[in-house]
Amino acid sequence: MANISVIGAGTWGCGLSRVLCANGHNVLMWSPFEEEAANLRSTHIHPNLSNVVLPDTMDFTSDLEKALTDKELVVMAVASPYTRMTAEKMSRYIAPGQRVVTVTKGIEESTLKTQAEILEELLPTAVIGALSGPTHAEEVILGLPTTIVSASENREMAEYVQNVFMAPNFRVYTSPDVLGVELGGSLKNVIALAAGIAAGLGYGDNAMAALITRGIHEMVGLAGRMGASYETLYGLSGIGDLIVTCESKHSRNRKAGVLIGQGMSMQDAMKEVGQIVEGVYSAKAALTLSQKYGVNLPITNEVNKILFEGKDPGQAVMDLMTRDKKMENFVKEEELPREWKDL
């Protein structure tokens, strides 16, 4: 049994808290708002998960010092735009060697840092990890079968998080590739916006399959150039997370994309969804990274034009479809059949 705090009282934090409570751990959830913490303490029901009652053993607080003191594990579950601000406040209370695992997906636009990189900067004495995969809170909190990846450069940390969360309905794999796991979880949100836009335009399964397939190509190309393992992007935290985020009714990024495809502005779509749409915050960062590392990301480029330049979504799809002809395969030139080589 471990004493664990969950920083952030959103749906994902609630879903993971329920897993931890079921595993017998003591869980304290922190919200920056005393009213929210008091309401959760009183009802044990999150307003966006009203069909589920949180375990009686869970407690809630708005006192950050209390949330971080004498905790074997800190689960960082705030939305990505608030990671830096929250970590700065946490820094005075984090003990040397304290374990902190981020479960948030996103790239910081101003610094191009992943969530773990932000934590490493601001919490230099902590042991940092990342937990990511195809995991919608709405299913995790119901105990539906789910798989996820615990990543850390520190093997003991990765395996500790694995052991804490592992359950018959919640299978946890480990990985040393923190960068790859985090890039997969961040970049797939941008592709999911494109998938939603295509659905909003009324396009069918063919377009969806193309977006998912070419989307993973973009993710692998950029992550590989940045030093991540290609195999990571072909795993749960890459293609697995991409599939569920592009296809699921629970996906906020897909929902926002559908609304944009139907004619809403990005701002109105985000208001309608009512929760943080991480892909909007990662889109510019992904494009900047592609330029920095010299990787062509056509889908990401068009998503940025739709979101921030007001480009017509239908025209964006047409521009993708009518680009210069090219070969699909990723075959190295030396591996091409003789008749395919330039003579």
Q: Which residue out of 105, 188, 255, 284 is catalytically annotated? A: 188
Q: How confident is the model at residue 209 (pLDDT cuts 50, 70, 90)?
A: very high
Per the annotation, the verdict on 188 as an active-site residue is: yes
Share the mean pLDDT of the chain.
94
Q: What token pair was written down for 76?
A: 């960082």
What string of H, E and C letters represents the secondary structure of 67-120?
A: HHCCCCEEEECCCHHHHHHHHHHHCCCCCCCCEEEECCCCECCCCCCEHHHHHH
Q: Alpha carbon 288 to chain centroid distance?
A: 18
Q: How confident is the model at residue 332 (pLDDT cuts 50, 70, 90)?
A: low
d(CA 123, CA 117): 10
Q: How confident is the model at residue 260 (pLDDT cuts 50, 70, 90)?
A: very high
- Residue 138: which of 32, 57, 252, 33 has the closest Cα? 252
The answer to whether the CB of 149 falls within 8 A of the CB of 235 is yes
Query: Minimum mean pLDDT among 60-74, 119-133, 271-285: which range?
Result: 271-285
Q: How confident is the model at residue 339 (pLDDT cuts 50, 70, 90)?
A: confident
Compute the average pLDDT of residues 170-196. Answer: 96
Write the single-letter amino acid at 116: A
Q: What token pair was written down for 108?
A: 């910081």
Q: How confident is the model at residue 235 (pLDDT cuts 50, 70, 90)?
A: very high
- Give the H/E segment covering residue 241: helix 241-247
**How crowded is residue 21: how many other Cβ atoms within 10 Å of its Cβ?**
17
* Edge-to-edge strand ranges of the sheet holding 99-102: 59-61, 26-30, 3-7, 73-76, 99-102, 127-132, 146-151, 170-175
Q: Characterize the bridge pairing of strands 99-102 and 73-76.
A: parallel
Q: Where are the domains positioned within the chain?
A: 3-176, 179-321
List pLDDT tens digits, range 47-94.
Answer: 988 789 999 999 999 999 999 999 999 999 999 999 999 999 999 999
The answer to whether the CB of 139 falls within 8 A of the CB of 250 is yes
| CA dihedral (3, 6, 12, 18) positive or negative | positive
The pLDDT of residue 50 is 75
Residue 335 has pLDDT above 90, yes or no: no
- Assign a CATH topology to domain 179-321: N-(1-d-carboxylethyl)-l-norvaline Dehydrogenase; domain 2 (1.10.1040)
Percentage of residues in the chain having pLDDT higher than 70: 98
Q: What token pair was written down for 207?
A: 């377009």
Q: How many residues does the chain have?
A: 343
The pLDDT of residue 342 is 64
**CATH node for 3-176:** 3.40.50.720
Q: What is the CA radius of gyration of the chain?
A: 20
Q: Do domains 3-176 and 179-321 have the same CATH topology?
A: no
d(CA 283, CA 106): 9
The pLDDT of residue 274 is 85
